[in-house]
Amino acid sequence: MSENSGLFTHIDHVGIAVRDLDEAIAFYEEKYGMRMAHREENEEQGVAEAMMEVGDSTSCIQLLAPLNEKSTIAKFLDKSGPGIQQMAYRVKDIDDVCAKLKERGLRLLYPEPKIGTAGSRINFVHPKDAGGVLVELVEPGTSH
Ligand code: MC0
């Protein structure tokens, strides 16, 4: 990590809660000309998701639809309606970054990283400790 790069290397993705994944994918493809890079279901997180590429930036828009009523996305949609749910930063070493953020007094949601999109390792900073923003940390899987 270079001296002035801070903890994060890129904006990995911005997560947007949607009610209908197929409809949202069609909107991003047809209106913005975005290409879908990846699609999967994550049972543990309770989401069906699609990563939409933002040009050649390597950053994506992540469309997130709930898989069931208990999903955090279902709760978010009930409370806030569709819209931005999270900001995700890419990191090289998530264990190191989580340790540093804990030292700096921020609450991580999980004691150990969980599995996210495409085999990535993920954790979250609680929005109440991060200026009202749910911050996701993403260490990409080997296929990224
Ligand atoms: C809740 N709050 C938020 C928020 N969700 N603030 C900003 N952004 C959000 N997304 C605020 C509420 O407004 C409330 O504030 C307070 O936090 C407690 O909210 P709550 O409605 O009682 O919700 P909780 O506590 O049940 O859950 C919030 C929490 C949860 C962040 C802990 O959403 C969570 O565990 N999120 C992490 C997992 C996740 O989001 N998975 C889906 C994406 P007030 O002021 O009213 O008290 S999965 C994913 O992203 C994966 C696939 C990947 O990228 O690889």
- How far lies 48's CA from each of 18, 56, 98, 117, 128, in Å? 10, 24, 26, 10, 25
**Dihedral sign, CA of 109, 115, 116, 120?**
positive
Q: List the structure tokens of 68.
A: 């069931």
Which residues make beta-bridge pairs with 52?
36, 61
| Ligand 1 binding pocket includes 47 (Cβ within 6 Å) | yes
Q: Kindly give the number of the ligand 1 atom that is closest to the alpha carbon of 118.
A: 55
Number of C-alpha atoms within 13 angstroms, CB side, residue 114?
A: 13
What confidence score (pLDDT) does residue 5 get? Answer: 63
| Helix, strand, coil percentages in the chain from 3-state DSSP, rounded to 5 | 25, 35, 40
| Ligand 1 binding pocket includes 79 (Cβ within 6 Å) | yes
**Ligand 1, atom 26, residue with closest C-alpha:** 72
Angle, vertex CA 26, rays to CA 49 and CA 16, nearest 5: 40
Return all residues near 111 (Cβ < 8 A) that are at least 6 apart. none
Q: From first to last of its 144 residues, what are the pLDDT tens digits of the chain?
A: 455 569 999 999 999 999 999 999 999 999 999 999 999 999 999 999 999 999 999 999 999 999 999 999 999 999 999 999 999 999 999 999 999 999 999 999 999 999 999 999 999 999 999 999 999 999 999 865
Q: List the structure tokens of 21.
A: 């994944």
Residues in the chain: 144
Q: How far is the CA of 2 from the centre of ligand 1 (A)?
A: 32
For ligand 1, mutation pick of 49, 72, 115, 144 (most atoms within 8 Å of CB): 72
| Ligand 1 binding pocket includes 94 (Cβ within 6 Å) | no
What confidence score (pLDDT) does residue 121 get? Answer: 98
For ligand 1, mutation pick of 11, 41, 45 (most atoms within 8 Å of CB): 45
